[in-house]
A and B are shown apart, each in its own frame.
Chain A
Amino acid sequence: MSTWVLLTITGLGLGAMYFLIASGLSLIYGLMGVLNFAHGAFLTVGAYASWWAQGKLDGIGSIPLRFLLAALVGLAVGALIAVLTELVLIRPLYQRHIEQVLVTVGLGLALTALVAGIWTQTQQVYLTPTWLTETTSVFGAQIPNDRFVEIGAAVAVLLGLLAFFRYTRYGLIVRAGVENRAMVMALGIDVRKAFTLVFAMGGVAAALAGILSGVYFGGIDPARGTHLLIYAFIVVVIGGLGSILGSAAAAVIVGLMQQYANYYASSGIGDIAVILLLAVVLLVRPGGLSGREVAH
């Protein structure tokens, strides 16, 4: 029982990180039709910005406060780099999907190489509050506390996004834009502002995932974003492009499946199981769990 509880909560923690990355990817594709291969680099840059800020804030004695302030720096940098990407690289290439893919692939590679060039490929130890590295007993299982933070952060982002969609005008614009972007413009709405906003939100969520991955894995490395991006894309496809709730459900499924398969079958089987799940979903339900068709 305790092993199952540990696997389940760890799987949910992993799924939480997948969701944080996938939510931005899904929204960006759903609204703009952009497959953003640089999204993993937003994660890496956000995580490194936070780690860098931790070093600069060494005058602050309180580790939790230092961690939180550095995390805020990471989130701000994640938003900034996402906004700049949208304004400088994506906006001039609207409707030119091949070029957009090429430019985001190039940007992702360049940013990752830049980070590695500055701080080397070596994993950097991420300073975390003591409580996060301790464990809490749940039904006999000793659960690392950071898992609860990761799950809580993902739930908070999910609820925040749902509230944004339901209660704000921009949320309404994004929901409508995912369905029919041209018609949103034909109602007199400058949909480009929604594009920039969605990119910024995606950048913040990716940076948050990067920071939490530093806690989860005990450090950060330049390839972290690229590695997690692969799973995030799988989550987005399984959940249904453009569907936040679909991404949330798929992230939980993928995270749990990896943990269970790696433990109960054999280490490494988790990744194969996820790929098989992706293949089954594509064959049986091409629109993903949400079944939503995105019009572009």
Chain B
Amino acid sequence: MSASEKTLLRVEDLDVFLGGSHVLQGMSFDVPEGSVTALLGRNGVGKTTTIRAIMGLSARRGRVVFAESDIARERTDRIVRRGVGYVPEDREVFGSLTVDENFRLAERNGSARYDLVYSLFPELRERGGQRAGTLSGGQQQMLAIGRALLNENRLLLIDEPTKGLAPLLVTEVAKALEKAAEITTVLFVEQNLGVVRRLADQVVVLDQGRVVHAGSAKAFLDDPEAVRRYLGVSKAEAA
């Protein structure tokens, strides 16, 4: 990070205990304003827990500074109202509500950006009256991302946006995230390194609840030895 870059989110000495396990162990990293940061690591290293801890959805210790305010003791809804959008790992759309109702629920003020959301996902406009639980996995992901983009946020936390999607949908979701990244800082968890290469400016790599590498995304992905060591994937897979 250059000196001119302003830090939007700073995580300092973050600890999370889940069911007796010390999942996050003094984790620290920064997310510069305007950047796209990918949170990487093998399965079970604490990526989702990190996102949930920032959101206040998991009990945590340490400091989480967002826009120069410590939010580590704030409730989730207050953190969101500060300008943090969240797309959870398993979409978590409200299946018994319609698409329109899911959006209405997400509206935080009178300036909901339906034009932006429908320009990214025109399909959702046509399915406004359909129950979200009957949408395909890809459509549910569009709804989950659209819900987070509906309000003007300063930071988007996105957990595995392409998980379980068909290749064509991965491309569509990646395009939407590119568009989102033009207007918002993004911190996202992703297993698909092609998507990481396409979107991320910087990476934060976790192992056993700690940050083991942080830096330029391109430099990391171009280093096959680092990719193999930290993620356990070959150069071909990384490409």
Contacts and interface: CB of A to CB of B under 8 A. Distances in A.
Interface of A: 169, 172-173, 175-176, 179-180, 182-191
Contact of A188 (B57, B81, B88, B92): B81
B47 interface: no
Contact of A190 (B77, B88, B96): B77
B94 A188 contact: no
A180 B97 CA distance: 12
Interface string B144-167: 000100010000000000000000
16 contacts: A169-B104, A172-B97, A172-B105, A176-B94, A183-B88, A183-B92, A185-B57, A185-B76, A185-B80, A186-B57, A188-B80, A188-B108, A189-B77, A190-B77, A190-B78, A191-B77
Q: By CB atoms of chain B within 10 A, which of A180, A186, A190 has the most?
A: A186
B49 to A, nearest CB: 14
B191 to A, nearest CB: 22
A185 B75 contact: yes
Contacts of A186: 55, 57, 76-77, 80, 86, 88, 92
A180 B94 contact: yes
Contacts of B104: 169, 172
The majority secondary structure among interface residues of chain A is: helix
Instruction: Please give me the 3 A-B residue pairs with the lowest Cβ-Cβ distance, nearest first.
Output: A188-B80, A185-B76, A183-B92
B101 A172 contact: yes
B95 interface: yes
Contacts of B92: 180, 183, 186
Given A182-B57, A188-B108, A176 B97 contact: yes
A190 B76 CA distance: 9
Given A183-B92, A188-B81, A190-B78, 16 more contacts: A172-B104, A173-B105, A176-B105, A180-B94, A182-B57, A184-B105, A185-B57, A185-B80, A186-B57, A186-B76, A186-B80, A186-B86, A187-B77, A187-B105, A187-B108, A188-B108
B106 interface: yes
Contacts of A182: 57, 76
B96 A179 contact: yes
A179 B108 contact: no
Contacts of B97: 172, 175-176, 179
Contact of A179 (B77, B78, B95, B151): B95
Contacts of A185: 57, 75-77, 80
A179 B101 CA distance: 14
Contacts of A173: 105
B101 A187 contact: no
B96 A175 contact: yes
A273 B92 CA distance: 40
A175 B101 CA distance: 10
A142 B104 CA distance: 50
Contacts of B106: 187
Interface in B79-129: 80-81, 86, 88, 92, 94-97, 101, 104-106, 108
